[in-house]
Amino acid sequence: MNLHLQDKVILISGGAKGIGGAITRGLIEEGAIPVIIDPSEKEGNELIALAKGKVLHLPWRLFSAADCQKVIEEAIRCFGRIDGVVNNAGVNDGVGLEHGSPEAFANSIANNLHHYYSLVHFALPELKKNKGSIVNISSKTAVTGQGGTSGYVAAKGAQLALTREWAVELLPYQIRVNAILPAEVYTPMYESWIQSFANPEEKLAEISKRIPLGKRMTKPEEIASMAIFLLSEKAAHITGQHLYVDGGYTHLDRSL
Ligand code: NAP
């Protein structure tokens, strides 16, 4: 299947490691031009080498609207166009109801949500010109809860709501907006979470056992395949959707 992503300029926040890194790699394979926004220098340099320079790495941690505006200006300055945005950067920062504070909650929302809005806001004129595609990486925690992580889960829920909201608002421009909900994907973030348990290997085996399809974690590349399909014109009639790429973890009977 030719996805026709050759020379399309796609922004990926948190695009150097984990799920975002896999999306960047997949886009490089398709001949697209990824714009990686991620502070990770080492992984960013590896991706620059892989893309043989057909890439832009902005080693920045997104927080403010001004950061996002700068990203869009740089992407346009370098490549003259933007065809897609993958909002992916986020951190499950453990700001809970009991163990948290209103200030920490506001900070967590800014860290996990505000840049999703701002990147798309500033990219919009370009996306309108090119009938672009937007992919929001949310989380199954938005629909199941997790406990102890109010800020992150509120942001993940809002990302699902904004996916529908933007899909409606952007219909006149044929800009498509979809969300992916990963559940258990082995990435650097997941690795550090699992290492916080007294017996990480036991905990990982216990979680894997509960994943219906194959009793294994989802691979970052499996999330990337869905994201890249959604970015492509092969997904031309898909918009406003919440797609679960999770081996059936969220919906299937776990006693099976
Ligand atoms: P990851 O392994 O931590 O990779 C994320 C990358 O994004 C890291 O390189 C990180 O840099 C960077 N990053 C974080 N905040 C950033 C910011 N504000 N601006 C720019 N870059 C930033 O995470 P992941 O597991 O791949 O998660 C990616 C997305 O999937 C997140 O939105 C997460 O909520 C979602 N998700 C993941 C899972 C899972 O099982 N892994 C499940 C559900 C949802 P640093 O390492 O320097 O912070």
Q: Determine the pLDDT at residue 254.
A: 74
Segment 177-206, tens digit of pLDDT: 999 999 999 999 999 999 999 999 999 999
- Among candidates 209, 113, 96, 94, which has minimal Cα distance to 160? 113
Same domain, 188 and 122: no
Q: List strands edge to edge, sheet with 56-58.
A: 56-58, 33-37, 9-13, 84-87, 133-137, 176-181, 242-244
Same domain, 189 and 76: no
Average pLDDT over residues 160-188: 98
Cβ(37) – ligand 1 distance below 6 Å: yes
Same domain, 63 and 189: no
Same domain, 177 and 190: no
Same domain, 128 and 201: no
Same domain, 211 and 122: no
Average pLDDT over residues 233-248: 98
Q: Determine the pLDDT at residue 1.
A: 87
Ligand 1 pocket test target in 11, 12, 19, 141 with most atoms within 8 Å of CB: 19
Note whether residue 251 is domain-resident. Answer: no
For residue 162, report the distance from its CA to the centre of ligand 1, in Å.
19
Cβ(194) – ligand 1 distance below 6 Å: no
Instruction: List, in order, residues 6 or more apart from 157 with CB less than 8 Å away.
Output: 138, 142, 143
Which positions are annotated as active-site residues? Answer: 152
Q: What percent of the chain has pLDDT over 70?
A: 100
The domain total for the chain is 2
Q: Provide the domain limits for residue 190.
A: 184-217
Distance separating alpha carbons of residues 79 and 52, to the nearest angstrom? 15
For residue 18, report the distance from its CA to the centre of ligand 1, in Å.
7
Note whether residue 2 is domain-resident. Answer: no
Same domain, 50 and 108: yes
CATH number at residue 25: 3.40.50.720
Same domain, 120 and 85: yes
Ligand 1 pocket test target in 12, 17, 109 with most atoms within 8 Å of CB: 17
Segment 83-138, tens digit of pLDDT: 999 999 999 999 999 999 999 999 999 999 999 999 999 999 999 999 999 999 99
For residue 255, report the distance from its CA to the centre of ligand 1, in Å.
30
Residue, of 1 and 108, whose pLDDT is higher: 108
Q: Determine the pLDDT at residue 256.
A: 67
Same domain, 40 and 125: yes
Same domain, 141 and 114: yes
Note whether residue 111 is domain-resident. Answer: yes
Ligand 1 pocket test target in 189, 218, 246 with most atoms within 8 Å of CB: 189
Same domain, 203 and 129: no
Segment 12-50, tens digit of pLDDT: 999 999 999 999 999 999 999 999 999 999 999 999 999
Q: Determine the pLDDT at residue 253.
A: 87
Cβ(244) – ligand 1 distance below 6 Å: no
Q: Determine the pLDDT at residue 231.
A: 98
Distance separating alpha carbons of residues 180 and 86, to the nearest angstrom? 10
Atom of ligand 1 nearest to the CA of 156: 34
Same domain, 121 and 209: no
Average pLDDT over residues 132-152: 98
Note whether residue 249 is domain-resident. Answer: no
Alpha helices in the chain (DSSP H): 18-29, 41-50, 65-79, 102-109, 115-130, 141-144, 150-169, 188-194, 200-209, 220-231
